[in-house]
Structure 1
Amino acid sequence: MYNSKPHQEHDLDRLHQHMHGTRLAILLSHSEQGLLATHLPVLIDTSEGEFGTVYAHLARANHQWQALAQGTEALLVFPGADAYVSPGYYPSKTENPKVVPTWNYLAVHAYGTAEVLHDGPTLLAIVSRLTERHEQGRKKPWKVTDAPADYLDRMLHAIVGIRLPIARLQGACKLSQNRSAQDIAGVREGLGASPDYLDNQLAAHMRQL
């Protein structure tokens, strides 16, 4: 992705933290039919490989897995908080009106070649780990084994698993770092006072700079 130097994030722990915090990633790949995209929850195992390994599953009816099986490179997009930045947030504009709007955002892109998984025990492990992650904290967490065994078997036959060792990892942390400290504070305060909770999210990230 295009990412100017002031906004590049290279800290692996922070990149992984962002990925763990993204509930729904976007899987992009190319096939003879053109670009393909699927929104899907994923698991990141940071102990596997230099940058970690991603696990997920696709519907068997989704032809994207067949394209992935051909060995084409795939991209997983992990979007984060984002916000419109008005020039009105910059105190410096009173002295220098040469300012324009921009957009602040957080994002991580993970690249790699996926392995397609079909065996039942592996698929069961993936869906079980995903379920445990998202049921965590509920008063009565639902477990995969709560479903009837024959029904669960049919559901597992309707999906394929994906294992994607990350070969390249890029992070964008665009939080007005190219502006003066005064302007950064103005953006932070402006977004923090916004009635939009997404703006407030980004302001919270800016407070951590």
Structure 2
Amino acid sequence: MTDPRLYVPRFNVMDPDDVRPFVASVATAQLVTVGHDGLPDATFLPVLWEGDRLVGHLARANPHWRRIVDGSHALAVVTGPDTYVSPSWYASKTEHGKVVPTWNYSVVHLRGAVTVHDDPDWVRGLVTRLTDHHEQPRAEPWAVADAPADYVEKNLRPIVGVELLVGSVEAKAKHSQNRSAADRAGVAAGLAADGRDPHGLVAP
């Protein structure tokens, strides 16, 4: 059996320089693992990609973390904006009518060994870095240290840390790159008319 891989046609490859910024901007992932019983689990969680590790946290009440086999293979799926693309937006529709609907989206798959961290200091560090990441752009950023220490401790107890040692990265940006410039312009105009920002959904 071959290793599972993300299907990426040659015209849908995400620019390697865009992969980390994409993951940082989304800052969430679906973590997929398989327990001892061979059954899969998936949880949506906030994440940071730091060096060769993707880190995040789960609710302690979520049984997923107890089913994670330390060191086992895991998959983190990071998805960006997505949208239906109507064939009526293509300029080529009026030329020959040989057009069909599609769906545009971006996705990154991170695979590697997963480890659970049920350690208050590790979790505190992660929550602090996650908070700083999201608060940094604000004029008056909130910090974990702004809350009373006992209140922070109380709110750290219900969460557990998780870490993925990234062994492989696969990224896909399906943004109508295989269409003509006129068709892509039509998609951008159609999205704008529907109230959607075309940025990140259609290639320029």
* Distance in structure 1 (CA, Å) of the matches to 2:156 and 2:202: 44
Q: Give the stretch that moved more between structures: 124-133 or 113-122.
A: 113-122
CA 1:145–1:69 in 2, change beyond 3 Å: closer, same or farther?
farther
Instruction: Tell me if structure 1 keeps the 8 A contact 2:114–2:162.
Output: yes
Percent identical among aligned pairs is 41
* Distance in structure 2 (CA, Å) of the matches to 1:66 and 1:162: 11
What is aligned with 1:9? Answer: 14
What is aligned with 1:87? Answer: 87
The reply on whether 1:105 has 2:105 as its aligned counterpart is yes
Instruction: Tell me if structure 2 keeps the 8 A contact 1:68–1:74.
Output: no
Provide the secondary structure at the position in 2 that maps to 1:166.
strand
What is aligned with 2:157? Answer: 157
The runs of 4+ residues in structure 1 deviating greater than 6 Å are: none
* Distance in structure 2 (CA, Å) of the matches to 1:22 and 1:113: 22
Matches for 1:34-53 after TM superposition, within 5 Å: 34-45=39-50, 48=51, 52-53=52-53
Deviations 1:104-148 (A, max 9, x none): 111111111112112222211101111112222444433222333
Instruction: Tell me if structure 1 keeps the 8 A contact 2:71–2:113.
Output: yes
Instruction: Tell me if structure 1 keeps the 8 A contact 2:47–2:54.
Output: yes
CA 1:10–1:120 in 2, change beyond 3 Å: closer, same or farther?
same
Shift of 1:16: 0.4
Q: 1:20 aligns with which of 6, 24, 33?
A: 24
What is aligned with 1:204? Answer: 199
Q: Give the stretch that moved more between structures: 128-137 or 103-112.
A: 128-137
What is aligned with 1:60? Answer: 60
Bigger proportion of residues as helix: 1
Query: Runs of 5+ in structure 2 lacking a partner?
Result: 1-5
Q: Give the stretch that moved more between structures: 23-32 or 85-94.
A: 23-32
The letter for the 2-side match of 1:40 is L
**Would you say how many aligned residue pairs link Structure 1 and Structure 2?**
198
Q: Give the stretch that moved more between structures: 140-149 or 94-103.
A: 140-149
Query: Runs of 5+ in structure 1 lacking a partner?
Result: none
The letter for the 2-side match of 1:127 is V
CA 1:185–1:137 in 2, change beyond 3 Å: closer, same or farther?
closer
What is aligned with 2:170? Answer: 170
What is aligned with 2:96? Answer: 96
* Distance in structure 2 (CA, Å) of the matches to 1:77 and 1:206: 18
CA 1:79–1:207 in 2, change beyond 3 Å: closer, same or farther?
closer
Shift of 1:2: 2.4
Matches for 1:64-75 after TM superposition, within 5 Å: 64-75=64-75
Shift of 1:65: 1.7
* Distance in structure 2 (CA, Å) of the matches to 1:187 and 1:10: 21
